[in-house]
A = this chain, B = another copy of it.
Amino acid sequence: MKENEKDLYYLQGLSIPETPAPGQEPKPWQKTETIGKRVPRVDAYERVSGAAVYPSDIVLPEMIYGAILRCPHPNALVKKLDISAAIEMPGVLAVVSGSDPEARLEWNYSKEIKTALFEPHCRFEGEPVAAVAAETPYQAWDALRAVNVQYEVLPFVADERDALKKNAPSVHAGGNLLKTEKYERGNVEKGFIDADVVLEENYRTQCELHTPLELHGCVAQWNGDRLTLWESTQGVYAVQEKVAEVLGMPLSKVRVIGRYMGGGFGSKLQAGKYTIIAALLAKKAARPVKLFLTREETYLAVGNRPPNDMRLKAGVKKDGTLTALDFCCTGTGGAYPSGGTSLVDWLIRDLYKCPNVRTECTDVYIHAGPARPFRAPGHPQAAWALEQMMDALAKAIHMDPVELRLKNIPDFSQAKEGNPPYTTTGLRQCLEEGARAFGWEEARKKSAPSSGAGHIKRGVGMASCLWFVGGGWPPSTVILKLFSDGSMNLNMGASDIGTGTKTVMALVAAEELGIRPEMIEIEHADTGTTQYATPSGGSKTVPTEAPTVRAAAISIKQQLLEMAAKDLQEEVVALSFKDGNVYSTKEPSKKIRIADISGLKKRGVIVGVGYRGPNPENKSINPFAAQFCEVEVNTKTGEVKILRFLGTNDSGRVMDRLTYDSQVIGGITMGIGLAMTEYRVLDRNQTGKMLNRNWHDYKLPTAMDVPDDIVSLPIELVDTQANTTGAKGLGEPVTIPTAPAIANAVYHATGIRITETPISPGKLIRLLAESRKEG
């Protein structure tokens, strides 16, 4: 095939096309049949009927149950551990602990500090000290109580603001400072001199806990020297790698399966200690072991969005030009190096055009569970500071907050090396079209605090963002098998973490080959049987996997068209696909069913392999977003009612509109949690223990807390430079601006600026009272 013919495969027929220029009719090859429509999930039946088997549903013959004994102190030494009574408990088949030679394994939360699987120095409440496996979960939990542990309880530090104080107990030898990272461009001092207005404010976001609906855990089964794990994970290959490393096994002997999984927002990007413990128990008992954590254990040990203490100083000219940003942040990843300040300054560095920027982030240790990547690591924290500051600056220079942002839109990345231009940036459209669709100006006027005299005040607020990555990247491999009846099997390694990955990938293949998505069955997320993929996270799954699927589909297409050309006695370049047929574009009645193509019948199956190609060089691929909301504040009770939300996103092409909108609604819901209710409460003075380790005390937003009126408005700029599908990431930008948008709306309603999450009624009522006193 000649090179120019190859191009034709991409352009003809139902290849995923560029969108038409604005105001122009789409050309035939610019129409999509499936992509961009509202298509229900391909696995909707399994999900709603209960037929979907999640790792926590797995039942294997002879399977027994594991449970982990965890240190109840934030800082303690295991002085003595006696399992002799536990092993005699009813139903108990295996006990492992640090005194067990086979369980003396290294486990590293990071490269910096080496630690043991059962670490004798427990540095946070919830560190595993032993584990048992028994015939029933109840027997396992009972047996845990029979493990006799003597602890030497040590003093603790439970707040990052205390970590560097003199006399604070050291989490590790050498003090509690993990690292300080600095960034600077331009001349910040000069920037402040050039400013007409300079504001400075302290902000704080509280520690938020990972709360996937399905708990963390796995089922472990040995076959000789081969280990199979059914794990609730975002990335089967990442789990495989960690397990093989810790157990000293070849990767090929560790098979990780994670077909369905009940939610993951960063804490399931890797294996947990529980994964290794399940494998050890299964080996010892010579039985498959199911080990799922309780919610309490999940809250103690599997990760959180770190708390961040921030100070931001900003300078702006009267015309809205930002002149300087100076940012300082302290954060903590708990007892181990786990990203206490990861990416917290990225938005400061990169969201708005600003020549003079300085940031300083200090990561410290405390005696608490480790942080983990949490949907858009660092970004919601920075947005909480930056976007409230933008609101305040706009007020100070008497400019509309949307207008101020529009004044400062960059068209290249200022923070990335070489200042690469964005492949596309729809930030302007997000702001303009979002404001228009939301009715920003009218709502802003109508709900101005002066407008009403009663105790119910209305306010509107907004915020915007980018996400520091979002273009996806190699490696990834996908294999499509086209069966002789035209139905298809799609094989990929990526997990569908509930975001509709399977559905989007089916649509891509369906679009390319003109078949119905329901004719495509998907095998995924299994290191044994499916292709390689990196974990699903970082808003990269669609832009990584979709072009890979498309490449595989194009390979099928090329093979099929060459076969069909023989049957139809037509040139390859004159052929296209529709409704399971190949037809001649010159003479549409000349067609053949895919299933009737003689070459396909003869071959049985056609295999198409797709590899993820590289991204364009020296370009920055980023999704952008803006959110607008309206709130009602009861100034007597401090209650905030969120009335409506509009989320507008530039994430390139919309693949499945239904899934797209669900992401927007989900992201806003999660942002409402950060803004309004969610935070980890540590008893920082008395015991260092977590006080709200359950769903009663740790307040997640429920349906009652989320407005019915959430509008998703896609800004569909097909990003033809980013990849062959034009899609960028969506999962994270949808949650970044939510909390500051609410805070800005509350400010608009009340004149009260809440700088620390959550915006609780108690806090608000206190601040309202103080402002009345001051007033």
Contact = CB atoms under 8 A, between A and B. Distances in A.
Interface of A: 45-46, 49, 51, 59, 61, 223-226, 237, 241, 244, 250-253, 255, 474-475, 477, 479, 481, 483-489, 491, 519-521, 523, 526-532, 534, 603-605, 607, 609, 611
A484 B241 contact: yes
Contacts of A45: 223-225
**Consensus secondary structure, chain A interface:** mixed
Nearest to A226: B521
Contacts of A226: 521
B531 A529 contact: no
B51 A224 contact: yes
B481 A223 contact: no
B532 A529 contact: no
A521 B528 contact: yes
A530 B523 CA distance: 10
A223 B527 CA distance: 23
A485 B528 contact: no
Contact of A531 (B49, B225, B481, B521): B481
Most-contacted residue by chain B among A59, A474, A477, A534 (CB, 10 A) = A477
Contacts of A485: 244, 250-251
Given A51-B223, A253-B521, A529-B530, 10 more contacts: A250-B519, A252-B483, A252-B521, A253-B487, A475-B603, A475-B604, A475-B605, A479-B479, A479-B531, A489-B527
Copy number in the complex reads 2
Kindly list the 8 A-B residue pairs having the minimum CB-CB distance in the complex, ordered from nearest: A529-B529, A251-B483, A252-B487, A250-B487, A532-B605, A45-B224, A252-B521, A477-B607
16 contacts: A45-B224, A45-B225, A250-B485, A250-B487, A252-B483, A253-B487, A475-B603, A477-B605, A477-B607, A481-B531, A523-B528, A523-B529, A529-B529, A529-B530, A531-B607, A534-B604
Contacts of A250: 483, 485-487, 519
Contacts of A605: 237, 475, 477, 532
Given A49-B224, A526-B529, A521 B255 contact: yes
B484 A251 contact: yes
Contacts of A607: 477, 531-532, 609, 611
Nearest to A252: B487
Contacts of A521: 226, 252-253, 255, 528
Contacts of A251: 483-485, 487
B532 A481 contact: yes
A604 B479 CA distance: 17
Nearest to A57: B61
A258 to B, nearest CB: 14
A521 B487 CA distance: 29
Contacts of A520: 252
Contacts of A252: 483, 487-489, 519-521
Contacts of A255: 521
A519 B226 CA distance: 11
A46 B532 contact: no
A228 to B, nearest CB: 10
A508 to B, nearest CB: 16
Nearest to A59: B61
Contacts of A603: 474-475
Contacts of A225: 45
Contacts of A49: 224
A477 B474 CA distance: 24
A745 B385 CA distance: 96
